[in-house]
C-alpha cells in the first residue's frame, strides 16, 4: 500500500511549481478522477513477485556506521575474529588454560579461536557471540584465579616438567610442598617471572611454552628410535616419556635439555 500512496501523492502534487500553488490547488483529494484509478489498476495488474519484491540486497545506508580499527577495539578491551597480535596470543593462552582451546598460540584470531571463545561463553552462561569483551575477559580472569591451585595430577605433571628442565630434583609426588615451591621459584627466576613459588597463569603459560607438543612429539620419536620409548607419539610428557628420558640420560650421559634440543 505504500506504493499506492506514492502513486496517489505523485499524481495529486504533480505540477506544483512552488509554495503558491499549494494554496491555489488545495490539499490532494481522492476525487482526482480516472487517472488515479488507472494508476491503481495498473499497480494491481503487476505480477505478485514484482509487487512483493524485497529491497535490493546491495542497499547501503547513506551514512554507514563507522568501523572501529583493531587498535580502537583493543583500547576498550575488545577482540574479534580477524584480529592479530600479542593480545590475541594472551587470549589463546587463557582459553587453553580454561580447557577449551587446543590450537596453536599463533596470535591470530581465526575460526578455531572463535569457536573456543563461543564454547567458553556457553559454559559460563555468557552471550555466545564469539566477541571477547569486558564480560568474557572477566570470566577468563575468574577462571584463571579458580584454577590457581592445581590438582595433584597437574602438580605431578609440572614436577616432571620442572625435573626435565633441571629445576626439580625430587621424585614427582603430586604435592605442593617446599621442594616443589623452591623448584617453581627457580624456574620463575630463570624465566624472568614474579618469583613467588605459585603456579599461577603466567607460570603455567611458561611451562606450557617450554613443552610445546611438537617438541615433545619430536623427542618421543627420537626416544622410540633409540629403543627407550614404547608409548604413543602424542606430544604429552607423561610417565612413559619421563622414564624414557631418564633411561636415555643414563646411556648417553647428557642432560634433559640436551635430549630435548637433540644436542647429543
Print pLDDT tens along the chain (264 aa).
444 444 444 444 444 444 444 444 444 444 555 555 565 556 566 565 555 555 555 555 544 444 556 666 655 578 999 999 888 988 998 888 777 888 888 889 999 999 999 988 988 889 999 999 999 999 888 776 655 566 787 788 888 888 878 899 888 898 988 999 999 999 999 888 888 888 877 787 788 777 777 888 899 999 999 999 998 998 877 778 878 988 998 899 887 767 877 877
Output the pLDDT for position 14: 43
Q: What's 85's DSSP letter?
A: S
- Is residue 45 a contact partner of residue 38, using CB atoms and an 8 Å limit? no
The span from the CA of 51 to the CA of 3, in Å, is 9
C-alpha cell at 168: 626439580
CB atoms within 10 A of CB 214: 9
Output the pLDDT for position 102: 80
Domains of the chain: 2-51 (no CATH), 71-146 (1.10.101.10), 152-210 (1.10.101.10), 213-260 (no CATH)
Task: Using alpha carbons only, give the angle 196, 198, 203 rounded to the nearest 5 degrees.
Answer: 100
SS3 sequence of 4-34: HHHHHHHHHCCCCCCHHHHHHHCCCCCCCCH
The span from the CA of 163 to the CA of 258, in Å, is 14
φ/ψ of residue 26, rounded to 5? 75, -175
The span from the CA of 77 to the CA of 28, in Å, is 57
Closest C-alpha among 164, 146, 161, 156 to residue 201: 146
Using DSSP's 3-state secondary structure scheme, residue 108 falls into: strand
Output the pLDDT for position 13: 43
- Is residue 114 a contact partner of residue 65, using CB atoms and an 8 Å limit? no
Residues 6+ apart with CB under 8 A from 104: 92
**pTM of the complete model:** 0.38
Amino acid at each position: 500500500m505504500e506504493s499506492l500512496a506514492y502513486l496517489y501523492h505523485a499524481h495529486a502534487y504533480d505540477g506544483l511549481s512552488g509554495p503558491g500553488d499549494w494554496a491555489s490547488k488545495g490539499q490532494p483529494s481522492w476525487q482526482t478522477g480516472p487517472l488515479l484509478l488507472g494508476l491503481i489498476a495498473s499497480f494491481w495488474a503487476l505480477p505478485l513477485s514484482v509487487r512483493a519484491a524485497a529491497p535490493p540486497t546491495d542497499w547501503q545506508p547513506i551514512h554507514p556506521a563507522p568501523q572501529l580499527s583493531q587498535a580502537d577495539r583493543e583500547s576498550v578491551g575488545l577482540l574479534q575474529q580477524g584480529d592479530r597480535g600479542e593480545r590475541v596470543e594472551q587470549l589463546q593462552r587463557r582459553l587453553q588454560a580454561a580447557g577449551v582451546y587446543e590450537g596453536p598460540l599463533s596470535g591470530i584470531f581465526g575460526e578455531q579461536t572463535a569457536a573456543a571463545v563461543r564454547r567458553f561463553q556457553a559454559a559460563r552462561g555468557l552471550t555466545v557471540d564469539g566477541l571477547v569483551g569486558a564480560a568474557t575477559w572477566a570470566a577468563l580472569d575468574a577462571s584463571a584465579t579458580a584454577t590457581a591451585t592445581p590438582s595433584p595430577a597437574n602438580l605431578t605433571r609440572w614436577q616432571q616438567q620442572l625435573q626435565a628442565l633441571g629445576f626439580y630434583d625430587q621424585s614427582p609426588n603430586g604435592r605442593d610442598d617446599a621442594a616443589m615451591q623452591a623448584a617453581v621459584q627457580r624456574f620463575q627466576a630463570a624465566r624472568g617471572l614474579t618469583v613467588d613459588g605459585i603456579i599461577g597463569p603466567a607460570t603455567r603459560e611458561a611451562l606450557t611454552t617450554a613443552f610445546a607438543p611438537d617438541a615433545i612429539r619430536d623427542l618421543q620419536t627420537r626416544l622410540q628410535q633409540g629403543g627407550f620409548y614404547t608409548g604413543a607419539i602424542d606430544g604429552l610428557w607423561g610417565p612413559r616419556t619421563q622414564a624414557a628420558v631418564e633411561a636415555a640420560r643414563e646411556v648417553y650421559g647428557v642432560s634433559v635439555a640436551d635430549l630435548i634440543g637433540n644436542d647429543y
